Each structure stands twice: as C-alpha cells, then as structure tokens.
Structure 1
Amino acid sequence: MPSIAARLIPAWLRQYQLSALPTDVIAGLVVGVLVIPQSLGYAVLAGLPPVYGLYAAIVPVLVYAWIGSSNVQAVGPVAITAIMTASSLHPYANEGTQQYILMASLLSLMVGTMLWLAGRLKLGWIMQFISRGVSAGFISGAAVLIFVSQLKYLTGIPIAGNGLIGYLSSMQMYARQLHPLTLVIGVIAFTLLFANRYASKWVWRSWLSASYAKWAERLFPLILLGLAIVLSISLHWTTHGVATISTIPQGLPTFTLPYMPDFHEALNLLPSAGLMALIIFVSSSSVASNYARLRGETFDANRELTGLGLANMAGGFFQSFTVAGGFSRTAMNADSGAKTPVASLVTILVMIAALIAFGNLLAPLPYALLGATIMASIVGLIDMATLKSAWQRDRLDAASFLAAFIGVLIFGLNTGLVIGLMVSFASLIWQSSKPHVAVVGQLAGTGHFRNINRHDVVTFSNLLMLRIDESLFFGNSESVHRRVIQATLQYPEAHEIILIMSAVNHIDLTGQEMLISLNQELLNQKKHLSFSFIKGPVMDIIEHTPVITHLSGQVYLSTMDAVNALKDV
C-alpha cells in the first residue's frame, strides 16, 4: 500500500529532475506574462471585472498542477467557459456586480462537483459519445457568438443577447451610441492582432529567422498592451470617453463562500452546469491526451476529470469562475519548453506578481484592446475545415456540425449543444437501423468469403450466405429480417440459408425474437437456417434460448465448415 507521502505528493514532484527546472521556469514566465491580457479579456467576456481573470489563473491552476493528468496542460480561463458563464448567468446580469460574481463562483463549484463525481464514478469513457462534428460545430458557433459579443467593446454600443439575433437586434437598436474614438482604437488593435496571429508569414517571417519570428509573434500582444497603456495616459483617452479598466484591486484572491441559492435557482443552473462540465472535459481531455501521445506519456481520463473537478471546486471558494485546459496556452506552454507542472507553478507566481505590484499599471488599459484580443484569438476556433471534410466524407457528421453550429447561433450555447447532440444520436440510431447485410461467395481456392457485388467469387446454387455487419437490436431487427427475406426471393433455389455472424457483437431480446421468427418462416418454405462464426460472448447469451435449441439448421464454427457440410446437400 502506498505511503501517505506517495498519495499526497504527485509523482512528477517526487521524481522531479533538476535538469528540467530551467526550461520549466522559462515556459512558466513566458505563459504567465503573455496570458495576462488574455485572462483579463476572458473575465470581461464572462461578464466579470477584469481582475477575476487573474484570480482564475491562481488557485485552480495550483490544484490542477497538483492533481491533474497532464504534465504540460495549462489550465485557466478560456473563451468557451467564459462565454458559457455569461450565457448561463444572463438572467442574473442585472442583480448587481457582487451578486453576479458570487453566482459565477457558484457555477464553478457546481461544474467542479460534477466533474469530480464523474471522475470518482470513472465516467471518462463518456467523451467518446461527443462526435467530432458536434464538438467542432459547437465550438465554431460559440466562437462566432464570442466574436460578435466583443463588438460592444470595439464600438461602445451596449450589445446584449443570448444568440446572434439578439446581439444584432440590440446593435441596431443602440447604434446611435457608437463611440468613434473607441471604434478607431478597437479596429486598429484588431487588425494588428489579426495580422500578427494569422499572417505572421508576411509580417515577421519575411525578414526574421523562424525562431525570432516565433518570439516576435508571441510578444507582440504584450508590446501592443504596453503601447495602448502609454497612449491611453498620454492622449487622455479616458477624458474622451474611452472605457478603460480604471482600477484593479491589489492583493490575492481571498476565501469567499459562493452564493447559496434556493432549490429553484440551483435547479435552473443545473443543466447549464452539466453542459459546461461536459464541454470542459471533452475539450480539456482532447488537448491533454494529444500532448500525452506526442510526449509518449500515459493519459488517464478519470484522473483528468478529478483534476478539473477539484480545480473548479477550489476556484469556487477563491473568487474564480469556471476554468478549463486552454488550446492556445497549452501550446504556448509546451512550445516554450515545459516539462512538468512546475511551469504552471511559475505562471501562478507571475499572476501573483501582477496582482500585487502591477495592478495600477493596467488601469489605463482600454476595454477595446481586450475585446480586440479576444476577437483575434477566437477566429481560429471557427473550424470550417472540419465541416468541409465531413461534407466530403460523412454527411451525417456534417449534419451534426451544422445542427450544433446553427443551434448555438440562433438559440444560444446550451440549447445549441443539445440540438447538436440530438442530431448526432439520431444519426447514430439511423445508421444502426439500416445495417449492411451482404450476400457473399467464396474466393476461389481460399477459405475467405466476400461480397458478391465487390469480388469475383464462387457461389453455390443450394446455398445462400448472408453476412450481417452489425449487432442485432430492437432498432435494426426488422431491417435485417426484411433483407434476409428479400435475398431468399432473389435466390429461390437456395434451400440452405447461412447467416455469417462474425460482425455481431450482441443480440438483444428483440433480435433473438426476430431470429426465432425468421427460422420458422424459412422452415415453412422448406428452407433451413444455419449460423456460422458466432462469437463466444454472443453464444453465451443465446445458447440456451430457442434461437439455438429450435434452429432448423446447425451452428458452424466457421463459414468454411458450413460450406463443406452443406454445398452438396
């Protein structure tokens, strides 16, 4: 049994090699400095004061570093959790800043509890039920909503809503409140940040070496932040009506009890918290498992659930909102040389230093720059490449993408995700309800059997061999029955029917009843039904049922055995 120290101190710390310290420190410093403006922006996106973005990058990051499954995943405030927080708490937006802050912490606590419970119940397998189409469509739709929502900081127009129609309607309604100077600042900042992020090949790499260009691209947002602060002070943007951060409270996040809701309020937040937990787990696990694979490390989905859960639970008591593993900050962390979670601990120290020493320096920062930062970073999440690929290869997955994408834009994040999931599950059921049943023949001179429509095969007039390429359950039993009967009509001379069950992994009660009925129908036509290649677990289910005991033919170990026994009958 492991000692107490082994259970409390993570393996990466017990086995830490000092040779990794220099690269971990550098990576932590780089990530800490570069994500400060991003963290401030995500807090604003969540409807919170900017300082809460820094709060969210301290205690939750510490907890995940200690418990989480990934050595390099950088946890913190991200765009998806920020916009889902704002969407979930939209009904409480007018109840006062302090009440809203406490509700955001409560939501973090609820999400964390769900993730932690899922980890304890070992529900890590659940991530495989979110198709690529649904997740890409949801994230793409959320990215569009995030982009549009940030226009209020670039224009000064008080845009609000839960979907694209609401945002555009409020923009049209309050268009007269457009602030020209804010618009100029925001458009210039967005253009520069967009060019830096998506056109770095021409902006930097045309005249800098690859390594210098990479660092120029990373440092540019920080340089732009400093320049905006200097211009804000020297040109007195505040007196000209440009909204700035104004004040950032100095000091660390304190232990604060989240808002304690009544039963009905908790019930109203429960669906949103559940969907947030699902998205956080899927997105964070995708990032963590990918880097684990690249680094030759193991990935434990249940431990990831536990780490994310405890991080959000702890954050709920230390003025944080919901956090997740970030795509961009994890890439930045890994690319900067991070080897272990020590890099995350260094990032925490950077955030603490920012709160204690540099809060006043950030006060003149225009909200327009924060909005432009979020808009420029979010464009890359609009994943049209996946839609194009799905449309070419799998129209059902493309339908799931479009359902989630359009649903998010029209109805908001939570409803959009549910719509996408429903379409995805409906597609799965539709596919399963129409199983492929192939008439097969023997490849000459071999013991292999293939589809007669795809291969040049040998057939036998008295035999009809059918391969069922799906498990038999209530959703497809009727389709299989119909296909078998159609095949017997196409080959009336065949009086020995062989069902090849090599692809059948389960037969439920409806499937068993179908096979019993099929056996009797064929017997009435003076035809015999036999099975070949039944897997052991399937035979365990049906061995003592009428499917086998009343079978008119026999059960053969292989299709070759069945052919040898029946071809001359």
Structure 2
Amino acid sequence: MPSIASRLIPVWLRQYQLSALPTDIIAGIVVGVLVIPQSLGYAVLAGLPPVYGLYAAIVPVAVYSWLGSSNVQAVGPAAVTAIMTASVLHPYADKGVEQYVLMAALLALMMGAILWLAGQLKLGWIMQFISRGVSAGFISGAAVLIFISQLKYLTGIPIAGNGLIGYLSSMQMYASQLHPLTLIIGMSALILMVLNRYGKKWVWQSWLSPSYAKWAERLFPLILLTIAIVLSVVLHWTTSGVATIGNVPQGLPNFTAPYLPDFHEALNLLPTAGLMALIAFVSSSSVASTYARLRGELFDANRELTGLGLANVAGSFFQSFPIAGGFSRTAINVDSGAKTPLASLVTVLVMIAALIAFGYMLAPLPYAILGATIMAAIIGLIDMATLKSAWHRDRLDAASFIAAFAGVLIFGLNTGLVIGLMVSFASLIWQSSKPHVAIVGQLAGTGHFRNINRHDVVTFHNLLMLRIDESLFFGNSESVHRHVVQATRQYPEAHEIILIMSAVNHIDLTGQEMLISLNQELLNQRKHLSFSFIKGPVMDIIEHTPVITDLSGRVYLSTMDAVNGLTDTH
C-alpha cells in the first residue's frame, strides 16, 4: 500500500533531477514575464478587471502543476473560456464588479467540479467524440467573436452582444461615441502587434539571428506595454478620455467563499459550465497529449480531468475565473527549456512578485493596448486551413466545421457548439447507416479475397461472397439486408451465400433479427447462408441465438475454408 507521502507528493517531484533545475527556473521566469500582458487581456475579455488575470495565474497554476497529467503544459486564463465566461455572465454586468467577480468564481467552481467528477468516473475517453471539424469550427467562430468584441477597447464604442449580429447592431447604434485618440492608440498597437506576429520574417529575421529574432518577437508585447504605460503618463492620456486600467489592488488574491446562488441561477449556469468543462478539457488534453507524445511520456486523460478540475475548484476560492491549458503558453514553456512542472511553480512566483511589487505600475495602461494584444493573438485561432483540408478530404467534417462556425457567429458560443456537435453526430449516424458491402472474389493462387470491382479475381458460379465492412446495428441493418438481396438477384445462379464478417465487431439485437430473417428468406429461395471469419467476441454474442442455431449453412473459420468446403460439395 502506498505511503501518505507517495500519494501526496507527485511523481515528478519525488524523481526530480537537479540537472533540470536551471532550465526550469529560466522557463518559469520567461513564461511568467511574457504572459503578464496576455493574462491581463484575458481577464478583460472575461469582463473582469485586468488584475484578475494575474489572480487566475496563481492558485490554479500551482494546483495543476501538482496534480495535472502534463510535465510541461502551462495552464492559465484562456481565450475561449474567457469569452464564454463573458457570454454567460453578460446579464450580471450591470450588477456591479463585486457580484460579477463572485459569479465568475462560481462558474470556475462549477466547471472544476464537473471536470473532477468526470475524472473520478473515468470519462477521459469522451474527448474522442469531439471531431476535429467541430472543435476547429467552434474555436474559429469564437476567435472571430473575440476579435470583434475587443473593438470596444480600440474605439471606445460600448458594443455588446452574444453573436455577430448583436455586436454589429450595437456598434452601429453607438457609433457616435467613437473616441479618436483611443482609436489611434488601439489601431497603432494592433498594427504593430500583427506585424510582430505575422511579419516577423521582415521585421526581425531580416536583421537578427533566428534565436534573437524569436525572443524579440516574444518580448515585443511586453516592451509595447511598457512603452504605452510611459506614454500614458507623459502625455496624460487619462485626462484626454482614454480608458486605462486605473487603480490595481496591491497584494495577493483573497480567500473568498464561493457565492451560493439560488436554484434558478445555478440551473442557468450549469449548461454553460458543462460546455466550458468539455471545451477546456478537449483543448488542454490536446496540448498535453501532443507534448507527451513528442517527449515520449505517458498521458492520462482521466488524471488531466482531475488536475484541471481541482485547479479550477481551488482557484474559485481565490478570486479566479475558469482556466484551461494554452498552446501558446505551453509552447513558450517548452521552448524556454521547461522539463518539469517546477517551471509553472516559478511562473506563479513571478505573478506574485508582479502583484506585490509592480501592480501599481499597471494603472496608466490603456485598455486599448490590452484589446490589441488579444486581437493580434486571436487571429491565429481562426483555422481556415482545417476547413480547406476537410473540404478536400472529408466533406462531412467540413460540414461540422461550417455548422459550428456559423452557429457560434449567429447564435452565440453555447448554441453554436451544440449545433456543431449535432451535425457531427448526424454525420456519424449517416455514415454508419450506409455501410460498405463488397462482393469479393479470390486472388488467383492465394488465400486472399478482394472486391471484384477493384481487383482481377476468381469467382465461383455457385458461390456469392460478400464482405460486410461495418458492425451490424439498428442504424444499418436494413441497408445491409438490401445490399445482400440485390446481390443475390444480380447473381441468381449462386446458391451458397457467404457473409465475410471480419470487419464486424458487434451485432446488436436488430442486426441479429435481420440475419435471422435473411437466412429464412434465402432458405425459401433454396439458397443457403454461411458465415466466415466471425470474431470471438461477436460469436460470444450470437452463438446460442437463432442466428447460429437456425443457420441454413455453416460457420467457417476462414473464407478459404468456406470456398474449399462449398466448392467441393457442389
């Protein structure tokens, strides 16, 4: 039985190699410094005061580093969870900052509890049911909404809404409130950020070595933020009407008991908390599993659920809002040399230092700079490459992408995700309902059997061999029955019908009833039905049913045995 120490102290810490300490410390400091602007921006995106972005990067990050499944994943405020927070808490925006903060923490608690419970129930497999098309379409649609939502900080126009139409309508309604100086500051910052991110070949690589160019690109947002603070003080932007962060509370986040809503409030939040848990898990596990594979490490999806869940639960007691794993944070963490979660603990210390010693310096920072930071970062999440690839390779996945993308833009995040999932599941059902049933023949001189339409094969006048390439269930049984009947009409001289079951992994009750009925229909036509290559688990299901006991033919171990036995007989 494991000792208490072995259960409380994570494996990575018990097996820590001191040789990794220097790189872990460096990586933690680098990530901590570089993601400060991003953390501030994501808090604003969530509808919270900027300082809450730093709060969300302390307790949740520390808990995940202790309990999470990945050695290098860097968790914290994320774009999608931030905008989903803003979307669901929009009705509370007019009830004061204190109430809004409590509701954001409650959302983190509910989301974390759902993730933790899913981990205890071993539901890590659920990520397999979110198709690439749905996740890419949802994130792309959310990225467009995030981009548009940040225009209020770049223009001073108080736009709001749940979807594209709402944002554009409010922008038109309040266009007269455009603030020219804010627009100049915001657009200038956005152009510089976009050039830094997407024009690095000309901006940095043309005159710096690759390693220096990489760090120049990463440090640029922090440098721009610093310059903006200085200019704001020198040029008195606040007195000119430019919205700035203002007073930043000094010190660490306070321990606060979660807000206890009434039943109806909790019920309203629950669907969004569930969807956020799903999205957070899918995005985090995608990043964690990718880096685990690259590093030759094991990835435990259920442990990821538990770690991410407890990180959100713990954060909810310390003024956090929902957090998730981030690809950009993790990429910086890995590139900076992180070997273990100790790097994330160092990042936590950097955030603590920023709050204690430098928080007051953020007060003159214009919101327009944070908006530009988020807009420049979010462009890369609009994943048109996946849509293009899906359009050429899998139109059904492309349909799921378009459904999720359009649903998010028109109806909002929650409804858009549900629409995408519905289209994805409908596509799966449609595909399953149209199974591939091939008429096969024997490759001359071999024991192999292939589709007669694709290969030059030998056929037998008294045998009709069909390979069923799907499991048999209620959604496709009728289609399989129709294929077999049509084939028997196409080859009326064949009196021995062999169904090759090598690709059938399960036969439900409807599938069994179809086979029983098919056997009787063929028998009425003086034809015999036989099976070959039935897998053991499938035979365990049907062995003592009329599918086998009333079979007019035989069950053959292989198709070659069936051919030898039936051609010899006839």
Given the two structures, how large is their TM-score scaled by the length of structure 2?
Answer: 0.99
Q: Distance in 2 between matches of 1:258 and 1:181?
A: 40
Q: Distance in 2 between matches of 1:381 and 1:504?
A: 39
Q: Distance in 2 between matches of 1:317 and 1:155?
A: 35
Amino acid corresponding to residue 54 of structure 1 in structure 2: L
- The offset of 1:207, in angstroms, is 0.7
Amino acid corresponding to residue 295 of structure 1 in structure 2: R
Q: Which residue in 1 is equivalent to 2:61? A: 61
Q: Distance in 1 between matches of 2:296 and 2:460?
A: 52
Q: Distance in 2 between matches of 1:109 and 1:492?
A: 67
Q: Which residue in 1 is equivalent to 2:39? A: 39
- The offset of 1:403, in angstroms, is 0.4
SS at match of 1:390: helix
Amino acid corresponding to residue 135 of structure 1 in structure 2: S
Q: Which residue in 1 is equivalent to 2:128? A: 128
Q: Which residue in 1 is equivalent to 2:514? A: 514
Q: Which residue in 2 is equivalent to 1:411? A: 411
Q: Which residue in 2 is equivalent to 1:310? A: 310
Q: Which residue in 2 is equivalent to 1:50? A: 50
Amino acid corresponding to residue 33 of structure 1 in structure 2: V
CA deviations 1:303-336 (Å, max 9, x no partner) are 0000000000001111000000011001000000
Q: Distance in 1 between matches of 2:480 and 2:457?
A: 23
Q: Which residue in 2 is equivalent to 1:430? A: 430
Q: Which residue in 2 is equivalent to 1:167? A: 167
- The offset of 1:17, in angstroms, is 1.2
- The offset of 1:93, in angstroms, is 1.6
The alignment's C-alpha RMSD in Å is 0.6
Q: Which residue in 2 is equivalent to 1:297? A: 297
- The offset of 1:208, in angstroms, is 0.5
Q: Which residue in 2 is equivalent to 1:495? A: 495
How do 1:451-530 residues align onto structure 2 when only pairs under 5 Å count? 451-530=451-530
Q: Which residue in 1 is equivalent to 2:228? A: 228
- The offset of 1:110, in angstroms, is 0.2
Q: Which residue in 2 is equivalent to 1:26? A: 26
- The offset of 1:15, in angstroms, is 1.1
Given the two structures, how large is their TM-score scaled by the length of structure 1?
Answer: 1.00
- The offset of 1:193, in angstroms, is 0.5
SS at match of 2:100: helix
Q: Distance in 1 between matches of 2:498 and 2:190?
A: 67
SS at match of 1:93: helix
SS at match of 2:95: coil
- The offset of 1:91, in angstroms, is 1.9
Q: Which residue in 2 is equivalent to 1:385? A: 385
Q: Which residue in 1 is equivalent to 2:354? A: 354
Amino acid corresponding to residue 369 of structure 1 in structure 2: I
Whether 1:543 aligns to 2:556 is no
SS at match of 2:526: coil
Q: Distance in 1 between matches of 2:38 and 2:258?
A: 25
SS at match of 1:125: helix
Amino acid corresponding to residue 280 of structure 1 in structure 2: A
Q: Which residue in 2 is equivalent to 1:272? A: 272
Runs of at least 5 residues in structure 1 that lack an aligned partner in the other structure: none
Runs of at least 5 residues in structure 2 that lack an aligned partner in the other structure: none
- The offset of 1:198, in angstroms, is 1.1
Amino acid corresponding to residue 58 of structure 1 in structure 2: I
Q: Which runs of 4+ in 1 moved over 6 A?
A: none
Q: Distance in 2 between matches of 1:90 and 1:563?
A: 69
Q: Which residue in 2 is equivalent to 1:325? A: 325
CA deviations 1:399-444 (Å, max 9, x no partner) are 0000000000000000000000000000000000000000000000
Q: Distance in 1 between matches of 2:462 and 2:355?
A: 84
Percent identity of the aligned residues?
Answer: 86
Q: Distance in 1 between matches of 2:87 and 2:529?
A: 58
- The offset of 1:88, in angstroms, is 1.3
- The offset of 1:96, in angstroms, is 1.4
- The offset of 1:257, in angstroms, is 1.3
Q: Distance in 2 between matches of 1:20 and 1:41?
A: 32
- The offset of 1:360, in angstroms, is 1.0
- The offset of 1:2, in angstroms, is 1.1
Q: Distance in 2 between matches of 1:539 and 1:450?
A: 24
